[in-house]
C-alpha cells in the first residue's frame, strides 16, 4: 500500500517535471518556430502516419504550423498560469482562512459571508464573466482564476486553524507571552502545510483545465500565443479531415492533469497522519 502511494507521487512528479522542462526549455525542444506558417504544408498528417512533411512529428495545422512546437510552447502558458494562480490564490486564501479561524467572531463572520458570496457563483462562469470584463491577456486570466480559486484554500485553512488553536502548544505559547501574530505564523500556519500542499496540487490541475477552457472559448490569452485550449478550438473544424489537430493538444491536457492529480492523490495519502498510523 505504501509503495503504491510513493509510486503515484513518483509518476505524477515525473509528469509535472516534464511540463516544467518543456516550459523552460521550449526554444531548445521545439523543432520549429510555433508561429511559422507554411501554407503549402497545411493539414499534413504526422510523419509516422505517412505525412509528406517528414520533419513534422505530429503534423501541421490549418496554417502549416508545426503542432509539436505549438504544444511545447503551450506548456509555458499552462505552467505559468497554473503555478502563478495557485500561489496567489493560496496566499490570499490562507491569509483570510487563518485570520478567520484564529480570531473568530466578527472577523470569521465577515470572511464567511465573503466566502459564501463567491461560492454562490459557479467557478468557471465567474472566470468567464471576469475575462469578458477584463479582456484577453495572461495577467487578466491569472487574476480571473485567482479570484475564483482562493475560496477553497480559505475553507481548508480555517478548519485547520480552528482545531490547531485549541492545542496545548498554542496555549503554552500564549502563556509564555507570545503575541497572536507570532503564534499564528510560527506555531499554527506551519501545521497547515500538508493540507495546503494537497489542495494546491489538485487546484493546479483545475486551473490548467480552466485556462484551456477559457482559451477554447476565445477568452484566454491573445490568439497569437499558442495554448492547448486555442489549438483545440482551431482544430474542431477539421475533426474529420485532420483529427490530429485536436487529438494531440487534448492528450497533452489529459496527461498533464492526470499526472498532477496522481501526484496530489499520492501526497494526500502520504501526508495524512491517520493513514500513516495505519501503515
Q: How far apart are CA 190 and CA 180, in angstroms?
A: 15
The pLDDT of residue 88 is above 90: yes
How many C-beta neighbours within 10 Å does residue 173 have? 18
Question: Average of pLDDT values for 59-66?
Answer: 84
Say how far residue 224 (Cα) sits from the centre of its chain.
22
Each residue's pLDDT tens digit, 147-200 = 888 888 988 888 888 888 888 887 787 787 778 788 888 888 888 888 888 888
The pLDDT of residue 272 is above 80: no
Question: Average of pLDDT values for 247-251?
Answer: 91
Which pLDDT band, with edges at 50, 70 and 90, does 13 fall under? confident
The cell numbers describing 274, all together, are 491517520
Query: What letter does residue 185 receive in the DSSP assignment?
Result: I
Q: How far apart are CA 269 and CA 40, in angstroms?
A: 52
Query: What letter does residue 187 receive in the DSSP assignment?
Result: I
pLDDT score of 278: 53
pLDDT score of 65: 87
Q: Over pLDDT 90: what percentage of the chain?
A: 10
CATH number of the domain encompassing residue 60: 1.10.3720.10
The cell numbers describing 100, all together, are 478567520
Contact 206/119 with Cβ under 8 angstroms? no
Residues 6+ apart with CB under 8 A from 27: none
3-state secondary structure 44-90: CCCHHHCCCCCCCCCCECCCCCEHHHHHHHHHHHHHHHHHHHHHHHH
* Residue 99, phi then psi, degrees to nearest 5: -65, -45
Q: What value does the mean pLDDT of the chain take? A: 84
The cell numbers describing 108, all together, are 470569521
First to last CA, the chain: 8
DSSP 16-45: HHHHHHHHHTHHHH-SS-TT---GGGTTPP
The pLDDT of residue 53 is above 90: no
pLDDT score of 254: 93
Q: Which helix (H) or strand (E) holds 221?
A: none
pLDDT score of 89: 92
Residue range(s) defining the domain that contains residue 189 = 2-278
The burial class, CB within 10 Å (0-12 / 13-18 / 19+), for 275 is middle
Q: Over pLDDT 70: what percentage of the chain?
A: 92
The pLDDT of residue 51 is above 80: no
Domain count, the chain: 1
Q: How far apart are CA 169 and CA 183, in angstroms?
A: 10
Count how many residues are written for the chain.
279
pLDDT score of 2: 54
Which pLDDT band, with edges at 50, 70 and 90, does 3 fall under? low
What 3-state DSSP class applies to 196?
helix
Amino acid at each position: 500500500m505504501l509503495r503504491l502511494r510513493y509510486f503515484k507521487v513518483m509518476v505524477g512528479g515525473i509528469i509535472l517535471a516534464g511540463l516544467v522542462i518543456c516550459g523552460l526549455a521550449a526554444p531548445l525542444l521545439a523543432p520549429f518556430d510555433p508561429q511559422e506558417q507554411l501554407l503549402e504544408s497545411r493539414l499534413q498528417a504526422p510523419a509516422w502516419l505517412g505525412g509528406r512533411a517528414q520533419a513534422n512529428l505530429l503534423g501541421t495545422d490549418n496554417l502549416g504550423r508545426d503542432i509539436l512546437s505549438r504544444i511545447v510552447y503551450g506548456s509555458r502558458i499552462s505552467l505559468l498560469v497554473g503555478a502563478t494562480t495557485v500561489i496567489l490564490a493560496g496566499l490570499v486564501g490562507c491569509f483570510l482562512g487563518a485570520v478567520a479561524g484564529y480570531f473568530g467572531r466578527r472577523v470569521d463572520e465577515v470572511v464567511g459571508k465573503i466566502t459564501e458570496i463567491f461560492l454562490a457563483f459557479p467557478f468557471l462562469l465567474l472566470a468567464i464573466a471576469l475575462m469578458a470584463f477584463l479582456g484577453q491577456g495572461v495577467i487578466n486570466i491569472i487574476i480571473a482564476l485567482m479570484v475564483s480559486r482562493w475560496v477553497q484554500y480559505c475553507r481548508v485553512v480555517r478548519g485547520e486553524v480552528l482545531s490547531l488553536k485549541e492545542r496545548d502548544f498554542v496555549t503554552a505559547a500564549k502563556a509564555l507571552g507570545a503575541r497572536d501574530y507570532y503564534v499564528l505564523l510560527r506555531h499554527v500556519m506551519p501545521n497547515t502545510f500538508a493540507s495546503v500542499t494537497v489542495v494546491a496540487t489538485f487546484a493546479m490541475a483545475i486551473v490548467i483545465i480552466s485556462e484551456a477552457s477559457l482559451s477554447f472559448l476565445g477568452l484566454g490569452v491573445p490568439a497569437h500565443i499558442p495554448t492547448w485550449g486555442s489549438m483545440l478550438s482551431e482544430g474542431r473544424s477539421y475533426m474529420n479531415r485532420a483529427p490530429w489537430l485536436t487529438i494531440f493538444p487534448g492528450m497533452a491536457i489529459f496527461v498533464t492533469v492526470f499526472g498532477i492529480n496522481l501526484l496530489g492523490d499520492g501526497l494526500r495519502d502520504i501526508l495524512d497522519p491517520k493513514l500513516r498510523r495505519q501503515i
